[in-house]
Amino acid sequence: SLFVPVLLYMLVSVVMVWRAGAWAQARGGYACLAVVGGMLFMFSDTLIAVNKFVVPISGVEVGIMSTYWMAQVAIAASVNFACSVNL
């Protein structure tokens, strides 16, 4: 059964967004992009799960990959901007 691995993965995802929020609150400014990135990752993973385990969604790959890459960009930008602005 995939129940335990999925539960652990969900827990890690929630902790990622929670810690990104704490970091954004402490740093301010562009650090909030880390929260946006974490939420986009969660949304991308939700699309994967719904498509695989609930109902197949036509063309879902575009949504999955676009939210995944937007998440990557948002997290990278948050680190770049937050570190360069608050040195």
> From the centroid of its chain, how far is CA 75?
8
Alpha-carbon torsion 63, 39, 9, 73, what sign? positive
> How far apart are alpha carbons 22 and 10 in whole angstroms?
18
CB atoms within 10 A of CB 37: 24
The model's pTM is: 0.85
Q: Which residue in the block uniquely carries the two structure tokens 């301010």?
A: 28
Q: pLDDT 10s per residue in the chain (87 long)?
A: 888 998 999 999 999 999 999 998 988 888 899 999 999 999 999 999 999 989 999 999 999 999 999 999 999 999 887 676 554
